[in-house]
Amino acid sequence: CALRWQQAYNAGYAPFVVLESTHEKALDFIELSALIEKSHNNYST
């Protein structure tokens, strides 16, 4: 799932994520900054 999300992100089509519901193992495949960028709550400043 994380690898497919990363593919979609690289292509510019990643869906939003809920960080509180995202397993920490996703960080083995995806940069935290990318997840924050696509956060449903948009924590980026």
The pLDDT value recorded for residue 45 is 56
Residue 43 lies in a domain: no
pLDDT at 41: 84
Q: Is 7 a domain residue?
A: yes
Q: Give me the residues paired with residue 39 across strands.
A: 17
pLDDT at 6: 97
pLDDT score, position 3? 95
Residue 45 lies in a domain: no
Q: What is the pTM of this model?
A: 0.83
3-state secondary structure of 5: helix
Residue-wise pLDDT tens for the chain (45 aa)? Answer: 899 999 999 999 999 999 999 999 999 999 999 999 999 887 665
Q: Which pLDDT belongs to residue 27?
A: 97
Range of the domain at 22: 2-37
Q: In terms of C-beta density within 10 A (0-12 exposed, 13-18 middle, 19 or more buried), how is residue 10 classed?
A: exposed
The domain tally of the chain equals 1
Q: Establish if 26 belongs to a structural domain.
A: yes
The residue length of the chain stands at 45
